[in-house]
Structure 1
């Protein structure tokens, strides 16, 4: 009996791209992909599934479902899984690094500037414009995901609406509801006549070791404390950067008193105005607490669990993913994920749309992206940043 790990990779002639091309794509997405996790997974679908056809719709849905079932940042886990699809562990590792590294270096640079110059007042003006535009970007991405992933299935639309409503009301993503959605769809479409021996093990317990550093002169007790805290953030928080922010606030500001409330808000703003995964704000926080070693420890401790929680179950998803029960389960989880993503648009809008100009900017972004479908998001974000710099002094005298 062969193990899932023995499941061979597809023949090279069946793969439409090289590993180097995929790494370059995620390096670019990590450098220019604005809008947070919802927009990022939308870009992956648009670019890799629709336009380049490197990844099949089924593989993409499996990756999105696994990212929702396992703890950790959704966009990074989806990227890691898409790297695993054809190039297994090497592909998962390189795509994950390529996706995270550009934004990590950006937030470290901003952390250095923040520490040297006593804050970044211009960030408020930039975020004023960018935050509103990001709502439009996310709304378009959520619309595309819902129409592609759910179609006309009434059960999936019901799950979508329930999860969207719950996310809006609770302002959080409730992990067990994703599991429940998968189970309900599985039982409705393919009720088990006999048990086939597994395949639903979507999240495996991982014992994450403490991550050491390379210099004996470092503040080991503080770095260990940072590593333990951010490992818990990466290992026990489900969903997107939206879900991890309250957890980080409780530990960084309330429990450990590493940052003030204003510093934490600035850290979140840095994550929103830089490309790549929103959860990279941990690098900025780590830098403010313990310099570059702190940034490295915080980022590594946050992303290592999500990497392990993706590559360990991935062979089981690949081996059992075509069974009718698993297909139904994944469809249910995907509908729940897209519902939660759509609900998060409303939640984020409450924080980003604060007056008439930001509301107009959000609606204008939706209209422009709807009409000009090939318009690159970085152009929209840069334009919104300039508008924010011009408008913020007028609206906040």
Structure 2
């Protein structure tokens, strides 16, 4: 196959970036059609090996798959082109929505609109939980891992990175190693140079920002850099950890604001992890206005996506080898099972804050859980969530359409 020109890649990956709605499954299907079926830029085997590799990595697998595809065709420049085009359209939309939210989010009409959005977000997370459970919980051991992960984060407040590390370690240690094959790796000197270069590109601005501006922007850069390392299992999994930190530890946002951000990110193209941009903007906006908010958004985008290029450019030459490593596959399988428990915790967390006006924390020894106040039950929110569930899970309506409809119904109920 003839190597495509940068102009052709700009057109194809630009279209993918603009049309990448619907979460990673829809985005991956779109790329498969464009890159494998229509243009044969990648073979079926290459595409599937790359997808498996990207699922092993922290960060958005669809964005990293696009980056790998560009790298496969035109090296590092092609990878940068493909990865940036996958992210930038959605990032521009999320920034515009975040600016509008910062200005008008506390207006009563806007709050009514977001009641329907929050109700829909609960159903979105439930749908993600169902899909991931079917894929991940295929043995009693995986069910146990999911249950322990849920108890660890829901009842004992264990950090998300610790839960992921323990699950990966268990999978790595207990894996069947008989299927391992021997595939020669690329020269390690090239890998070391790539890692060093992209580590500097990623972390040097963070270090400089933290040294010059050790306040909020520095904290944002440091926190989201840490987050970029542990975003296994997709955005829904890391939302629990992010909510725990930005709401409970830093007090940058409230839980309703986090849910509003997730609802907005669901309506945009690009990876769902762009919700971090909303968080970065709103945290900085509260401290210093629109200008500070834009800086917060830029910093968040940088530390969220620069690591993705590091993982791909350093790891892409190893894809054929990694595909033969059963220990890594087993570690990923256990991490995915643990993520089921984490997302279950996220589901209960969001449901409690949407369906009840008041939620209290119950502490008893090492156990620390949330308990809603029954008298604060919001029947309107429950009704909207049931309707959203019917439309999304049964009727299979398009997600952006359901979000718009639920937001409209939320506003209507406020004036009745």
Would you say same fold, with TM above 0.5?
A: yes
2:315 corresponds to: 316
Instruction: Evaluate the alpha carbon distance shift between residue 364 and residue 377 of structure 1 in structure 2; reply closer, same or farther with a 3 A threshold.
Output: same
Of 191, 204, 211, the residue aligned with 1:209 is: 204
- Indicate yes or no: 2:166 matched with 1:184: no
Of 67, 85, 101, the residue aligned with 1:94 is: 85
Of 102, 109, 129, the residue aligned with 1:122 is: 109
Instruction: Evaluate the alpha carbon distance shift between residue 269 and residue 139 of structure 1 in structure 2; reply closer, same or farther with a 3 A threshold.
Output: closer
CA deviation digits over 1:235-256, x for unaligned, max 9? Answer: 2244534422343346765xxx
1:250-289 equivalent positions in 2, closer than 5 A: 253=251, 267-268=257-258, 270-276=260-266, 277-279=274-276, 280-289=278-287
Q: For residues 192 and 226 of structure 1, what CA distance do their matches in structure 2 show?
A: 50
Q: For residues 31 and 390 of structure 2, what CA distance do their matches in structure 1 show?
A: 24
Deviation (angstroms), 1:12: 5.7
Gaps of 5+ in 1: 1-9, 34-39, 68-73, 214-219, 254-258
1:85 corresponds to: 68
- Indicate yes or no: 2:301 matched with 1:303: yes
1:337-376 equivalent positions in 2, closer than 5 A: 337-354=339-356, 355-373=378-396, 375-376=397-398
Deviation (angstroms), 1:362: 2.0
Of 158, 172, 186, the residue aligned with 2:144 is: 158
Q: For residues 387 and 158 of structure 2, what CA distance do their matches in structure 1 show?
A: 27
Contact 1:61 1:334 in 2 (8 A): no
Q: For residues 12 and 335 of structure 1, what CA distance do their matches in structure 2 show?
A: 39
2:402 corresponds to: 380
Gaps of 5+ in 2: 38-43, 72-78, 232-237, 267-273, 357-377
2:334 corresponds to: 332
Aligned pairs, number: 343
Q: For residues 247 and 87 of structure 1, what CA distance do their matches in structure 2 show?
A: 35
Instruction: Evaluate the alpha carbon distance shift between residue 250 and residue 359 of structure 1 in structure 2; reply closer, same or farther with a 3 A threshold.
Output: closer
1:106 corresponds to: 97
2:265 match: secondary structure? coil
1:209 match: secondary structure? helix
Of 140, 143, 147, the residue aligned with 2:127 is: 140
Of 223, 226, 231, the residue aligned with 1:236 is: 226
TM-score scaled to structure 1, two decimals? 0.70
Q: For residues 353 and 252 of structure 1, what CA distance do their matches in structure 2 show?
A: 25
Q: For residues 50 and 137 of structure 1, what CA distance do their matches in structure 2 show?
A: 25
TM-score scaled to structure 2, two decimals? 0.67
Instruction: Evaluate the alpha carbon distance shift between residue 192 and residue 316 of structure 1 in structure 2; reply closer, same or farther with a 3 A threshold.
Output: farther
CA deviation digits over 1:186-213, x for unaligned, max 9? Answer: 22223599999999x9xx8956234799
Deviation (angstroms), 1:102: 1.3
Deviation (angstroms), 1:44: 4.0
- Superposition RMSD in Å: 4.1
CA deviation digits over 1:152-182, x for unaligned, max 9? Answer: 3333333233323434335675212212212
